[in-house]
Chains A and B, each alone.
Chain A
């Protein structure tokens, strides 16, 4: 158990819909990262937040957005969903007592868009 929690574990929805994925980082970790893993693209970085502020952006679509709240949990919002958005979405955290070197990943949310 990495200490990072993600909900829900599975999500099935239809094209055009909007969903919210939630992540709670390890206690004390200030950085939260979101990654997407699809069959054809592998693990891709989407966005990072540090202590409530956006720190870095990767291959994140304009239809996707995220935020980190004062209690450091983060949400990834995916809107106008397309079939190609079906993927595993992982959240990771770092920057706590374990130092800056490791990122700890959650178990992921499997999104299926029908």
Chain B
């Protein structure tokens, strides 16, 4: 079973920041938070991951709370092409060769 809780759906206006929350209250010290997204029926796409510090890359920023029980994925300027299902996944450190456990994710709709 997925170890994360996400809202089933969210809307965001085009050009605004999309803030997608994820609750992972049972996360353990050696587990990372990963985010993937799936644009309609395409293969899931890796976005970002982090342990406890905030992370940023060309796609998004990841903010993890100090107690690590929740996190927020931020798409700074959402576009229509960001409409997708976003999955928050918790994985152990050095578990790169283990399968991903997907929950139901958040369906983000970016509206013009």
| A residues with CB within 8 A of B | 2, 4, 31, 33, 35, 42-45, 48, 50, 55-56, 58, 88, 90, 92, 94-95, 99-108, 110
Q: What are 16 A-B pairs with beta-carbon distances under 8 A?
A: A43-B38, A43-B87, A43-B102, A45-B100, A48-B97, A56-B99, A58-B99, A92-B43, A94-B96, A94-B97, A95-B96, A100-B96, A100-B97, A101-B32, A105-B44, A107-B43
Contact flags B28-43 to A (C-beta < 8 A → 1, else 0) = 0000101000100111
A39 vs chain B, min Cβ distance (A): 11
Q: Are the CB atoms of A100 and B44 closer together than 8 Å?
A: no
Q: Are B43 and A4 in contact (CB under 8 A)?
A: yes
In the assembled complex, the Cα of A96 lies from the Cα of B18 at a distance in Å of 32
Q: C-beta contact mask, B89-104 vs A, less than 8 Å → 1, else 0?
A: 0000011111111111
Residue of B nearest to A46 (CB): B99
A31-B97, A99-B96, A101-B96 as given contacts; A108 in contact with B43, CB under 8 Å: yes
Instruction: Give the interface SS of chain A, mostly helix, strand, loop or mixed.
Output: strand
Contact of A55 among B34, B44, B97 (CB under 8 A): B97
Interface of chain B, helix or strand or loop or mixed?
Answer: loop
- Is B25 among interface residues, defined by CB-CB distance under 8 A? no
B45 within 8 A of A: yes
Bound CA–CA A5/B46 (angstroms): 17
Residues B41 and A108 in contact, CB atoms below 8 Å apart: yes
In the bound complex, what is the Cα–Cα distance between A96 and B3 (angstroms)?
27
By a CB distance below 8 angstroms, the chain A residues around B41 are 88, 108, 110
